[in-house]
Amino acid sequence: MTECNEISEMLVDYVNRRLQKVENIQVINHLAQCKCCRSDAAAYISLKNHALESMTSIPKDIMDSAFNKIHSQESALDSCKLAYETVKYSMLILKQTITLVRQAI
């Protein structure tokens, strides 16, 4: 059986559909039999959905304008990577918080 720690490191990428096919299958198989990791995945999905809902409330013309500016700058790719890493680490911190809360209960 795959260790929870190994799966835990892949959950954020799993939720954001950034895993390779083999890793994706590995995570799915683990989630099918591990309630704890399923719960973590559900928390990530909930957080992602909340973030997406917040994004959709921004008017389309403003979003389009922002994305056009981003695409027009070569350095924007680095900004996107940084933003992605920031979100990823935020999710990892959330996971650690969930783990600590579970231990405290």
Alpha-carbon Rg for the chain, nearest whole angstrom, is 16
Nearest Cα to Cα of residue 92 among 34, 21, 13: 13
Nearest approach, Cβ of residue 96 and Zn ion (Å)? 15
* Whole-number Å distance between alpha carbons of 45 and 104: 23
CB atoms within 10 A of CB 6: 12
Looking at beta carbons only, is 12 or 37 nearer to Zn ion? Answer: 37
Range in contact with Zn ion (rule: CB under 5 A) among 10-18, 34-42, 44-52, 61-69: 34-42
34 scored as a contact of Zn ion (CB under 5 A): yes
Count the site residues for Zn ion by CB under 5 A.
3
4 scored as a contact of Zn ion (CB under 5 A): yes
The binder of Zn ion chosen from 10, 12, 27, 37 (CB under 5 A): 37
Nearest Cα to Cα of residue 52 among 23, 15, 27: 15
| Contacts with Zn ion, residue ranges (CB under 5 A) | 4, 34, 37
